[in-house]
Amino acid sequence: MIWVAKLQGLAIDAEVVMEELSYENLRRQIDVNGNPKKMVCDFFSFSNPLLFRLKMAHKIKTITQILNEITGEASAVGVVAKVNERVTSANNGQIPETDSFLDEFEIVGRGVDISRIVSIVLDTTTHDRISVLPIVGMGGLGKTTVAKAVFNHELVEAHFDETIWVCVTASFDEKKILRAILESLTNFPSGLDSMDAILRRLQKELEGKRYFLVLDDVWNENFELWNNLMSLLLKITNSVGNRILVTTRSEEAGKVVKTFPIYRLAKLSDDECWLIFKERASPNGLPLTQELEVMKNVLAEQFGGIPLVAKVVGGSVQVKTRRETLLMSTLETLIMNPLHNENDILSILRLSVDHLPNSSLKQCFAYFSNFPKGYNFEKEQLIQCWMAEGFIQPSDQAGYETMEDIGDKYFNILLAHSLFQDIVKDENGKITHCKMHHLLHDLAYSISKCAACGSDVIGLNDSVSQIRQLSLIGCENNIPLPSIRSMRNLRSLFLDRDVFGHEILSFKRLCVLNISRCEICSLPTSIGRLKHLRYLDVSNNMIKELPKSIVKLYKLQTLRLGCFHGEAPKNFRKLISLRHFYMDIKRPTSRHMPRYLGRLVDLQSLPFFVFGMDKALI
């Protein structure tokens, strides 16, 4: 409907007005602050407060007029306004606290498969230099789970000198795969772009060694591309007995890569699916409720032997107040739409997202589409991006709860719904990183596709009229880019190479800018024009000096500098919204802390401190 598109555009315009008002309030608080002399200067500047108010009043009046027109158009087709109940933090509390149980569950129903695959991988009667075993099956069957179990099997670890894991996904790029193999071996970004240099380093790393390589989620059905990769791998080492395990949803891809016969992963039994569901629905081992036990036989049968469906639906019904509603709608959908293919599976997984406690959580889930499949998310970074996008707002409840606390709660809710996997903890048992299943990533992209373009999209174009989020992490160098016009409402931008240069300043509504690993030496001198920026990551670059205008980013909440060798700008204290400030403490080069750092009263993360006697901190 035309009026729906108008309403979406109007919501963006209203959002911009609110952002402008918020920034101007901060600017006057910092730059003018009631000083008569500064007030006079401000009046005769481009920031004239009277002109600003007139401009904002005109915009608000226009928005109101258009909204009234849309209301009339919507009423004509029977759409009426609905008073929305306020979502309180009590909704978030319905999820029990979790200790990341996802990574502690045993693998159900795959013991025989794992043993058979390990036997094939360790087969010593084959004397080929490289042998390939494809595991083929529809999405959600557990191919990656089985591959991980084989990868970490004690007999496999003892048999091979090196074990290597690479997530391939849609784009099959030989250089990218070889670079990923090298980085898996060294546990360090290679920074190499020349194929010859990558091959030489791999030869050095694998000389005289026998390796086991997992290529996860392969989609390539082109024999020539696969043959090119095999030719390159054969140049690396002359050792005999190297094995490659490939997981793929495509039968044709399995035929292209196989030297061993294809291993087709079967569906689980109803009892095995029920066991998975039961573990997720009651992670503490407590008995299930009576209504769940009554529905056992019908529900287990309708899972269709797909473990991912059983896992996600089980995680969802932990929300006690919504359990009956979710179960009935899920059961109804499963009965009406048996799980014959991946589209059917996605429709069931979507129910779990639809039943999340509030819309902010759905936005947080959809935000994962900005990253490549198989991406290792850093929890803290993820929550800070959610904050910057406005998905998390400060609590106005009694008993102060920070945005970080709310973000942590949101993360735990998504975790309890079984929407994450491969949880990584630090030595204190605190979650630091996680990943998302490929099918769930597809679901996140389908939810946000009207506003986001991710690095798994081949051939970015202007089919998305107003892109709100764009990620080029892991994209091929020659990928077509969207037009600047289609990105005028861009709020999040993730890059791993410098493709826009100073054109970044055209994206005036940016809230999140991650340009780490872009190999840049400086930031645009006018970066202060990105006045709505709340998250800035310039780590892993060669920046020696921050532009003076950076102190005009009054809304900036997170600043990640990495190994920064310069001095902070003179008026660093103007970054009054700063909550998280990161610099590499392994090689501190600053002689002192930024002046008046003590005035940044919202600061919560400061991983280093340089003692000095000559500069004031407050």
The pTM of the whole model exceeds 0.85: no
Is the domain of 392 the same as that of 468? no
131 DSSP β-pair partners:
243
Q: Among 363, 359, 282, 360, which residue's Cα sits nearest to residue 323?
A: 282
- Answer whether residue 86 is part of any domain: no
Domain that holds residue 534: 438-599
Is the domain of 125 the same as that of 18? no
**8-state DSSP, 501:** G
- Answer whether residue 84 is part of any domain: no
Is the domain of 136 the same as that of 257? yes
Is the domain of 476 the same as that of 378? no
Is the domain of 323 the same as that of 468? no
d(CA 530, CA 521): 19
d(CA 242, CA 129): 6
- Answer whether residue 508 is part of any domain: yes
Is the domain of 235 the same as that of 214? yes
- Residue 561: CATH number of its domain: 3.80.10.10
Residue with tokens 């009229």: 465
Model pLDDT, residue 449: 65
Of 413, 435, 457, the residue at which a domain comes to its end is 435
Per run of 10 residues, the mean pLDDT along the chain (length 618 residues) is 68 83 83 58 60 84 84 63 45 36 66 96 90 93 92 95 89 89 88 88 94 94 94 93 94 93 94 87 68 73 86 71 57 64 78 81 90 88 95 73 92 86 88 90 81 52 66 75 80 86 86 89 88 93 87 93 76 88 64 65 73 54
Model pLDDT, residue 121: 95
Is the domain of 130 the same as that of 64? no
Query: For the chain, what is the domain count?
Result: 4
Is the domain of 346 the same as that of 276? yes
Q: Among 346, 432, 330, which residue's Cα sits nearest to residue 381?
A: 432
Is the domain of 470 the same as that of 595? yes
d(CA 435, CA 102): 11
Report long-range pairs for 330-335 (Cβ below 8 Å, ≥24 apart). Answer: 331/295, 331/298, 331/299, 331/302, 334/299, 334/302, 334/303, 334/304, 335/298, 335/302
d(CA 339, CA 439): 14
Is the domain of 540 the same as that of 593? yes
- DSSP assignment of 416-443 equals HTT--EEEEE-TTS-EEEEE--HHHHHH
What b/e readout covers 479-509, taking b as 16+ CB neighbours within 10 angstroms? eeebeeebbebbbbbbbbeeebeeebbebeb
- Residue 178: CATH number of its domain: 3.40.50.300
**The token pair that represents 102 in the structure block:** 């996802």
Model pLDDT, residue 485: 78
Q: Among 124, 129, 374, which residue's Cα sits nearest to residue 230?
A: 129
- Answer whether residue 587 is part of any domain: yes
What value, to the nearest 5°, has the Cα angle with vertex 470 and ends 469 and 476? Answer: 165
**The token pair that represents 598 in the structure block:** 């003590």
- Answer whether residue 312 is part of any domain: yes
Is the domain of 349 the same as that of 413? yes
Type of residue at 251: E
- Answer whether residue 81 is part of any domain: no
Is the domain of 582 the same as that of 457? yes
- Answer whether residue 316 is part of any domain: yes
- Answer whether residue 610 is part of any domain: no
